[in-house]
Amino acid sequence: MSTLEDICTELLKEIGEDPEREGLQRTPVRFHKAMKELTAGYEQTAEELVGEAIFTEDCSEMIIVRDIEFYSLCEHHLLPFFGKAHVAYIPDGKIVGLSKIPRIINMFARRLQVQERLTVQIADAISELLQAKGVGCILEARHMCMMMRGVQSQSSSMVTNAMRGSFLTDEKTRSEFMHTVTESTKENNPDNKCQSGDWKCGSEETL
């Protein structure tokens, strides 16, 4: 039996359950597999994920990939938080394969996280890989640690952002990105009271 399986067995006992009960007999094995999958990002790097999928291209206009679903574990309670990521960058002669951006997001999400750090890590990784003129990242998420326990707020969501390069220094660039994300948020969640287009709704990161 692995250490994670041992931990799960002891946890079941601690909360008053019987690990030998039929429905729980294989729970430690499942828990072990689930935790390995949910924290697989520790064994990956952005460089490995991207590989040779960075291409030289004469492109200098903003590229936006929006509504990227992600799932992560809050490091404070080991409960899930999940939502959508929106990423934009302005190339400086290099672009990245489209599928690599969701892969980078998923890599960082598959670690114990706080949303603020996750947002910054995504922006920094893309900025460093592409040496882009600017990078913007916005995350919108719901946290089960707020919905299932504590305050038990069912309708609240958290919005964070990290801006790099021209997205931080050029208001026009930032506004274009924010507007695109806001329109996406309105289309997908018209009742959301905290829109990504509100610059003060997120957390501003400096270079």
Q: Angle between the 3-14 and 27-38 helix axes, to the nearest 10 degrees?
A: 120
Considering the candidates 74, 113, 121, 201, report the single residue annotated as catalytic: 74
d(CA 162, CA 139): 9
Considering the candidates 121, 140, 143, 201, report the single residue annotated as catalytic: 143
d(CA 92, CA 90): 7
> How many residues comprise the chain?
207
25 classed as catalytic? no
Q: Which helix (H) or strand (E) holds 68?
A: strand 63-74
75 classed as catalytic? yes
76 classed as catalytic? yes
What's the pLDDT band for 195 if we cut at 50, 70, 90?
very low
What pLDDT does residue 189 have? 63
Average pLDDT over residues 57-62: 93
Considering the candidates 43, 47, 48, 75, report the single residue annotated as catalytic: 75
Query: Between the CA of residue 36 and those of 94, 110, 145, what are the distances in Å?
Result: 34, 9, 21
Considering the candidates 17, 59, 145, 194, report the single residue annotated as catalytic: 145
pLDDT in tens, 12-37: 999 999 999 999 999 999 999 999 99
d(CA 88, CA 132): 10
Considering the candidates 8, 115, 140, 201, report the single residue annotated as catalytic: 115
d(CA 60, CA 58): 7
Q: Angle between the 115-130 and 100-109 helix axes, to the nearest 10 degrees?
A: 140
115 classed as catalytic? yes
> Residue 126 has what DSSP assignment?
H
Contact 86, 181 (CB under 8 A): yes
Amino acid identity at 180: T
Considering the candidates 25, 76, 128, 131, report the single residue annotated as catalytic: 76
pLDDT in tens, 108-125: 999 999 999 999 999 999
pLDDT at residue 191 greater than cutoff 80: no
Per DSSP, the three-state class of 136 is strand
Domains of the chain: 3-38 (no CATH), 51-201 (3.30.1130.10)
Indicate whether this model's pTM tops 0.85.
Answer: yes
More confident residue, 168 or 206: 168
